């Protein structure tokens, strides 16, 4: 994680870097952390269904849920809505909005297992963020330790 923290943060990798920095416990006051967070929030502001990948949406939700689920509730909800709208009829997700492929004599929506796993993780985090953000402060879970676990 130290190597990742010391490397130059490019716009293309801001979301994955932000998520990694969050998991590593890097201070939100860190310059690279702030740059990556600003880039993600700017991206969410102008977000539409086809201008980002399922991975970016998933990592964005996961990162914002760890950083401050209550503060970023609106942004998490916006990305969640796009993920839900992208879900294929079969239940999975592709890199972007569902596309079609020919299989034998019929066409079906293309899905990808790794994209589907990120979408499911992100939707779980978005649901958790919504539930915990709605709780009165005294009932809310303690501040994040920088680790996220999915209950099964």
**Highest mean pLDDT of the ranges 38-47, 57-66, 125-134:** 57-66
CB atoms within 10 A of CB 91: 10
Beta bridge partners of 101: 108
pLDDT per residue over 112-149, tens digit each? 898 999 999 999 999 998 887 666 655 444 444 443 43
- Cβ(9)–Cβ(17) below 8 Å: yes
Tell me what percent of the residues of the chain surpass a pLDDT of 90.
Answer: 44
pLDDT at position 143, please?
Answer: 46
pLDDT per residue over 78-104, tens digit each? 999 999 998 988 889 988 877 777 777
Query: How far lies 46's CA from each of 63, 75, 84, 98, in Å?
Result: 18, 11, 18, 21
Burial of 99 (0-12, 13-18, 19+ CB in 10 A): exposed
Predicted TM-score of the model (pTM):
0.76
Tell me what percent of the residues of the chain surpass a pLDDT of 70.
Answer: 78
Euclidean distance between the first and the last CA atom of the chain, given in angstroms as a whole number: 28
């Amino acid at each position: 994680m130290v190597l990742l923290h010391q490397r130059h943060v490019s716009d293309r990798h801001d979301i994955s870097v932000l998520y990694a920095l969050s998991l590593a416990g890097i201070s939100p006051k860190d310059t690279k952390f702030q740059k990556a967070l600003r880039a993600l929030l700017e991206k969410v502001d102008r977000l539409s269904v086809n201008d980002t990948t399922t991975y970016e949406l998933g990592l964005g939700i996961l990162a914002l849920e760890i950083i401050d689920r209550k503060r970023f509730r609106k942004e998490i909800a916006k990305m969640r809505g796009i993920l839900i709208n992208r879900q294929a009829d079969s239940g999975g997700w592709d890199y972007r909005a569902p596309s079609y492929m020919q299989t034998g004599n019929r066409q079906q929506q293309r899905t990808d297992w790794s994209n589907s796993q990120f979408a499911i993780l992100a939707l779980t985090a978005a649901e958790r963020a919504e539930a915990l953000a709605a709780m009165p402060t005294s009932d809310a879970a303690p501040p994040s330790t920088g680790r996220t676990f999915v209950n099964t």
